[in-house]
Amino acid sequence: MKTYRIAILGCRGRGTAAARAYHAHPRTEIVGLCDLIHERYNALGKELNVSARFTDLDEMIRQTSPDIVAIPTATELHYDLCMRVLEHGVHIEVEKPMCVDLVEADAVIAKAEDKGVQVAVHHQGRVGAAMQAIANAYNAGKIGNLRYIYGSGKGYYGGYGLMNIGTHMLNNMLHFGRSCKSVVAHLTTGGKPITPEDVVPSPSGMGTIAGEYITATMQFEDNVTGTLLQHRFGKMDTNAYTMELFGTEGRLFWKLGGAYYLPTPHYLPDGNNDKWESLALIYPDHYNPKSSADEMDYWFVEDYVNALDEGRPHVCSGDEGRHVIEMMMGIFESAAYGKRVDLPQTDRTHPLLRWREESGLPSPAEMPRGYGEWLNLEKKRIS
């Protein structure tokens, strides 16, 4: 069985998490680390005993001949770095969200197709132990036919929450809804429907956003609808980051590290309720929970290995990552123009920038990158 050669481009938080998973997996070997900052690749290199360390990504790829290059860097760099790495004809995985708009995502997919390689997007929740348990129960028919999917963020400012956390949740929903045909969304800022003045740069370099509160409805396949809430809470609440599947015969509930099943479609307050049951989480046989690798990142690696072995796309493929961006851009467009947006959209430019330009406003002014500072400034603007 082939051992896949992995190079890590970016050695901070997410690069460290990815590297630990590739290091722990028996079928992958880290052959190179790259960062612009020596301390970062040295710390990771020391931890994982990788001596091939670089500041230049092209040099790393030329010298180490990887099969896969992981690109866990800030979102605004994804497009440029993906294009540069793909030029070498290697498979990639890139952190979420894949890119900041559809023009970029289309170009990355086209480049990968041209080079005959794969793109995977690091939506690890889609393949993690809790989702494996939910998917197993769902495939076993435990909730009958799916009617409706509900998902929520954890309380970030809506537009930022959509790009940052909604990207995971929409990808989770796609597991069951398969593809999204259209979206309808309502976005408010300061309690009023958004206006072109409410189009602002995202914190953390995630492109252009709008909406303090986002309420979106997606039309999936087979008459299934989904609702996504990305509402700003006064205080962040990770427990709100959940997904629920409503079926004709029961319900399934996903949260980070937990999977639950309710054997009735409705929870009625008549004292005759069944209780939510905890489902056993599912891990790869060779996963060692004592290793430093997070189980979701490990599952992500496991699926990449299996995908390449089998010649199929990763479950979190570039196509899925791009479809998630179609949904997110569709949500912005629906609220801006007050209409249903059918997917895939033909105009691939960022709908909020288009909307603002059409209204005669210049590009949004720069804002701080850090979320805390960004939010303070935005709260002042709204009030």
**Chain positions contacting ligand NAD, by CB under 6 A:** 9-15, 34-37, 40, 57, 72-75, 77, 95-96, 122, 124, 164
CB of 295 vs ligand NAD, minimal distance in Å: 13
- State in angstroms the smallest separation of the CB of 10 from ligand NAD: 3
The H-assigned helical ranges of the chain are: 13-24, 38-48, 57-64, 75-86, 102-115, 129-139, 158-161, 167-177, 295-310, 318-337, 351-358, 371-382
The residue (of 122 and 350) whose beta carbon lies closer to ligand NAD is 122
Distances (CA, A) of 272 to 245, 264, 267, 268, 276: 21, 11, 9, 7, 13
Residue whose CB is less far from ligand NAD, 16 or 334: 16
Q: Between 165 and 341, whose beta carbon lies closer to ligand NAD?
A: 165
Closest residue by Cα to residue 40 from 12, 19, 17, 61: 12
Shortest Cβ 87–ligand NAD spacing (Å): 14
- For ligand NAD, the closer of residues 74 and 367 by Cβ is 74
Nearest-approach distance from CB 58 to ligand NAD, in angstroms: 10
Output the smallest distance, CB 358 to ligand NAD, in A.
29
What would the two tokens of residue 108 be? Answer: 């990355």
3-state class (DSSP) for residue 215: strand
| Closest CB 325 distance from ligand NAD, rounded Å | 13
Say how far apart CA 29 and CA 17 lie, in whole Å: 15
3-state secondary structure of 246: strand
* Per-residue DSSP letter, 124: G
Grouping H, G, I as helix, E, B as strand and the rest as coil, residue 5 is: strand
In the complex with ligand NAD, the residue whose CB is nearer, 127 or 137, is 127
Q: Which two tokens stand for residue 170?
A: 């929409």
Residue closer to ligand NAD (CB basis): 34 or 194: 34
DSSP letter assigned to residue 199: -
- In whole angstroms, give the CA distance from residue 324 to residue 122: 12
